[in-house]
Structure 1
Amino acid sequence: MDQEIGEVYEQIKDMISPEEFEERVGEKVELMGELCDRRTAAMLVAREFGEVELKIDRIRPETGKVTFVGKVVAISEVHEFPRSGGGVGRVANVTLADETGSVRIVLWDELAEPVSTGELHLDQTLRVRGFTREGYFGTEVTVDRGGLEEVEAEITTRTEPLKISEVRADMGDIHILARVLDPGTVREFSRRDGSVGLVRSVILGDSSGKIRLTLWNEKAEIDLAEGDALEVTNALSRERYGSVEVQAGGYSVVKKSDVPVEYQEKMTQVSDLAAGSICSISGFVSGLGEVREFERDDGTVGRVANIYVSDGTGRVRVALWNDQVRLIEDLDLGSRIDIVDCMARAGWNGDVELSCGWSTRVTFAPPEERG
């Protein structure tokens, strides 16, 4: 039994044999077709035997009803707000963690009372029942009435930062330590109220990969240089244009670190490209598309051109945008090409495609210089 469903089976192994469990999982997948992967099917089978507890890193916005056990590591104040129909509502956020990660739970109205009284406190171990959703800070769980229960359990929470390869979409309370590969530049943008904000995109790397970090407003002005070690806590992740990035909001902490971070630039083979990641490739140009113009939302005109890059393992389509389009004006088929820090995403036909952003570095060499 593979790990994908083995963890689910462990929850009900005393009630069903592994052979019967795998058979029923296969029947669920066949019945639901593309609407159900093996892990989801395993969860559905397990729920037929009663309540199943998940590890926190398995909780997603689309999971639905969940039960899990975690240790309280952060508690907000109770906030009051006026209800549209009259009266006052109350809400509190609590972060729970286990050895796999952390998740925020939301306590509404009378469920927030234990926070006010101090009955709910740090280092308490709780069993939580509720429903998942995508919140402002990533995945969160809205707790059912009666969905909090103190339990006796040994929970060892993870204290070391996440590796970049462990960051997935819709995570909250992210803690990473990485090296600045590209500090980016501070840019201004106009808010809806007419005021001006600041934003900055930074490329980070560690021994497991790369990721884009978006810094907003005063955090965008932090003094950064290539090679700096940067520690980010209480951040969240989002999937944007098919790739996962980390965003540092108002509650995030961003600071330089003296802890050394290992990183070595790696050229990914075309056959190993994975959607949702920042990557670098090296190969030769095996196809040239036409340059197309398009109108942006603000009425200005942009340009895009697709090229194809091949190496010894496969072929991939690469989108060049705006000023990068000029790079291919005198380009010949067979030219060597290195593309550093491009975004891999899923294309319309399910294949991985690459998109070159403003921070992508593209270099060419004539065919005779390949070697």
Structure 2
Amino acid sequence: MGVIEDVYEDLDTDVEFEEFEAAVEDKVEQMGGLADDETAAMLIAHELRDEEADTIADIEPGMNDVKFLGKVTSIGEIRTFDRDDEDAEEGRVCNVDVADASGSVRVALWDDMAAAAEEELEVGQVLRVMGRPKEGYSGLEVSADKVEPDEDAEVDVQVLDTYRVEDLSLGASDVDLVGRVLDTDSVRTFDRDDGSEGRVANLTVGDETGRVRITLWDDKADLTDEFTAGETVEIGDGYVRERDGDLELHVGDRGTVERVDEDIEYVPETTDIADVEIGQTVDIGGGIIETDPKRTFDRDDGSEGQVRNVRIKDETGEIRVALWGDKADRDIELADRVVFTDVEIQDGWQDDLEASANWRSTVAVLDGKAGSAGDGTEPGSSGGDGRSPDGNETGLDAFGDASDEGDTDSVADSGTDTDTAADAVAANGGAAAATAERTDGDEIEFTGTVVQTGDPVVLDDGQQTKRIETDASLRLGEEITVRGAERDGTIQAEDVF
């Protein structure tokens, strides 16, 4: 056996020996006698090994005859075309999307292979593909020279008719998903390598299994203006990509986003505010206890930026959230229940922790007010025990799990007459019945921490918030007691101490 045969025997390739031997002879001739048969054979073997793609992500335009394994995720229709030679038969092509755990790629099957694909190929099959990569109209594609099913191989990619967020995996294509719109972004533009202008926008949608960012490209980017948070949409023909370690569902020229009449539940999984640490990227949720005006500033490049701070509280603690860019325009009011996702925990003012909501973050205002159990009661309109006259919770604690109700709380709910309520007051300290009997304009005394200065001042005692009308100069975080008449949910403070 000669040296060329020895090198070929050690090579795992689909190239026939005669073709390999001819390539070696060409290499010897190209190098003008500077390489013998063994050296030329090793060079050709090295070139062939370079074209072996371990994963689809390894494929690049310009590589020669790559070989890879992938699972069929979609099969297109056969299209016909006229060849340059007028006497030649009509050409046929069928595009097939294949994927592995690293990504997906479109494979173009020509003529007889296209016909065979239409008749024999099925979604979910695993194929061994050999072909030439190139940059196609919709990105990287491989023009197939040879395609063979491999029944023994396994590729870890799910193929479903309808996906949930938790079903998404890198490389999936032709994805149909129904979700609730949580947040929308404005359209952004960018310059492509060829000098043309691209356009992109994002939606964030969620379902009962999680949430995902939807990336809308070019003409589809305008769809972001058609939807608002809380609506349900169906994404069609999306494809999954990865960005900064997170999966995204992309919508290109073939994809669709349509409004549908369907109720989708989204239950956020948030981190307790008391548990967040500097450097983390987390999801937090709670009731808004402080809102600041929007501020503008000049960036280093001369453009104008904007930011707005709000403070959010859950049952474990509170934290300031900085809303940057378009998020500063979100309509967020006191006592709104809000979930902020993908916020970065940073070192804030006076060594206090701060959550930064940037372009990757989402801001979802949930139904109902914090502390109103969904009834829309404004802070300060409840009685002194943190409950509305009908017994519903109205303090910030209502955002979290309701605490066990004692006998005192049940008095206001029970529908008992005034005498019975008075007896309960005597037995339990008087708080519940006194609250039930309070009328608009009564003088009350309330002690709490200043969580918002200005007009109005807002106090929080850990169970409820109160709006305060006062000319007193107060500081955030200061604990005070106010006394005065409460009208329309606002205490008109006569004494502040």
Q: Could you tell me the TM-score, scaled by structure 2's length? A: 0.40
Greater strand share, structure number: 1
Q: Please, what TM-score do these two structures have when normalized by structure 1? A: 0.50
**Rg bigger for which structure?**
2
